[in-house]
Amino acid sequence: MNKQYKQALIILSLLVSVPVIVFAVYEYSSITREEKLVAEVYETQLNSILFSINLYSEDIISSWQLKLSSKSAVSDKKILTEFINENPSIKFLYSYDTENNKTTILYNEKERNVEETEPSINSILKNNSSKIDKLFAYLKSGYRKAEPITDTLSSEITHILYASTDEKEKIIFGIGIDSKEFINKALKPRLQVIAQEKLVISIFNKRTGEKVYSNFPGEKGEARNDKMLWLLPGYEMAIKPLNTTIEDIANKRKQENLIITGVLALLLSAGAIFLLRNIRKEMKLSEIKSEFVSNVSHELRTPLALINMFAETLSMGRVKTEEKKQEYYEIIGRETERLSAIVNKILNFSQMESGKRKYKFEEVDMNELVEKIYDSYKFHLKNKGFEVEFEKEENLPSIQADHGAISEAVINLLDNGIKYSKDKKELSIRTGKDGKYLFVSVADKGIGISTEDKKKIFEKFFRVSSDNVHNTKGTGLGLSIVKEIAAAHDGVVEVESSPGKGSTFTLKFMIKETKQNV
């Protein structure tokens, strides 16, 4: 990994991770904020429900006080029974004469035995003397306050005490109610109206934790937060939205936000990866380009130096014999040809790249085309110490092709065969038919190509790293041009090669049925 790439990687990682972390932290804090907000909303709602229920309970108690305030109501059995029947949660009634310290049980439900009722009444009166005093103080100032106290023996029973003055007697009245029954009979209609099928309202016994009432008994997860009912201090109320819980709402939001954060991180990462790949591509391209410039310069330098040297020698008149002169002219001519071949290669490549290269398709006899190349290369190859053979299959069908382009492709393959041969200088050119294809192959016994490099040699500018395999100069364009030409003819170029043994490049063209070929 080069330094620039590393830097880009670090910067992009920061660009991705910083916003994701900031966003995640922000989201997390907003979740807790929202959770609090939701909880606050429910708290307010719970308070207002509680207020309404307390008011309702107070009304009930006031109406009871009113009923019981007349002497006849307490002394007349019939009226008392009627009152009790109307309010079945009342389990016993008693009065307590503070002056004479005398308790009178006015009513006790049949099933309840006196032994159970009396001790609890006595302990309530004994333990709450200061509250009782206050009740008289309230009464003096014109307010008949009721004081609810949980029974000492049974948490289900609540005593409601209130003061009353009868001539000179100071009397405390006590109403013993079954809290559960009171909730389920007297408060239930009110609770149902408030809940309106939207809320779950439940009431719990604080001491035992038992759920004594719920408008949706099956629901669970009410937020209990110590909201006592005024009339029933041993009981607390809890609410929650129907079919869900406050925690669920917060959790759902948490999950949603987590997913959003995750998706965002993924998107950002995908963007960063895409960008990194592009950066790497660009970097590689600029590397390849500078390598290409240096390769081309090397390619041009040798023929230019030779032309320069022989032209100078000739112009200085130092060459004596005509033979030598002729030899030098030939060298200059050959090197000029080499130069123009390189320049043409680059020009052809650039035309191909810009899509401007036009092909002129005509009837092409492949044997004839290859033979021409073979003839013109024969001597040059022999001079270089190559043994060349040309094996052609007779009566090959002709193909529609651009004569110049196919020649260029074959010459490129031949050039490579020459360039990448070392000690064993043997080349063989073959033409033939292979099923539906017509082929031209150029084989050498040169340095060969590794399996890994075989995949890349047709890429533009690619050259096998020269240090460890060869030190031949080149542009890295030859095979990419061959590939393009083959593709333009609906053909392919294939390679078989093993390092140290040689390579065979084969151009294959589909034989199309023409009148001539049938």
Please report, as ranges, the residues that interact with ligand ADP according to CB under 6 A.
Answer: 416-417, 419-420, 444, 446-449, 457, 462-464, 474-480, 503
User: In the structure, how many helices (H) and strands (E) does the chain have?
Assistant: 14, 16
DSSP H helical ranges for 70-155: 71-75, 77-86, 114-127, 129-140
Both structure tokens of 375: 């003839």
Q: Please state the closest distance from residue 342 (CB atom) to ligand ADP, in A.
A: 9
Between the alpha carbon of residue 462 and those of residues 363, 447, 453, the distances in Å are 33, 17, 9
CB atoms within 10 A of CB 323: 9
Nearest to 238 by CA among 259, 256, 220: 220
Q: Closest CB to ligand ADP among 237 and 457? A: 457
Tokens 């790949």 label which residue? 277
Q: Please state the closest distance from residue 390 (CB atom) to ligand ADP, in A.
A: 17
Q: Closest CB to ligand ADP among 450 and 514? A: 450
Q: Please state the closest distance from residue 22 (CB atom) to ligand ADP, in A.
A: 49
Q: How many CA atoms lie within 13 A of 225 on its CB side?
A: 13
Q: Closest CB to ligand ADP among 203 and 479? A: 479
Q: Please state the closest distance from residue 491 (CB atom) to ligand ADP, in A.
A: 17
Q: Closest CB to ligand ADP among 463 and 508? A: 463
Q: Please state the closest distance from residue 490 (CB atom) to ligand ADP, in A.
A: 21
As a whole number of angstroms, the distance between CA 1 and CA 279 comes to 12
As a whole number of angstroms, the distance between CA 513 and CA 323 comes to 53
Q: Please state the closest distance from residue 295 (CB atom) to ligand ADP, in A.
A: 7
Both structure tokens of 515: 């009148």
Q: Closest CB to ligand ADP among 310 and 420? A: 420
Running DSSP on this structure, what letter comes out for residue 185? I
Q: Please state the closest distance from residue 385 (CB atom) to ligand ADP, in A.
A: 17
Both structure tokens of 425: 């200088």
Q: Closest CB to ligand ADP among 401 and 443? A: 443
Q: What is the dihedral of CA 70, 75, 76, 77, to 10 degrees?
A: 130
Q: Closest CB to ligand ADP among 123 and 466? A: 466
Q: Closest CB to ligand ADP among 174 and 478? A: 478
Give the bridge partners for 377, in sequence order.
Answer: none
Q: Please state the closest distance from residue 266 (CB atom) to ligand ADP, in A.
A: 40
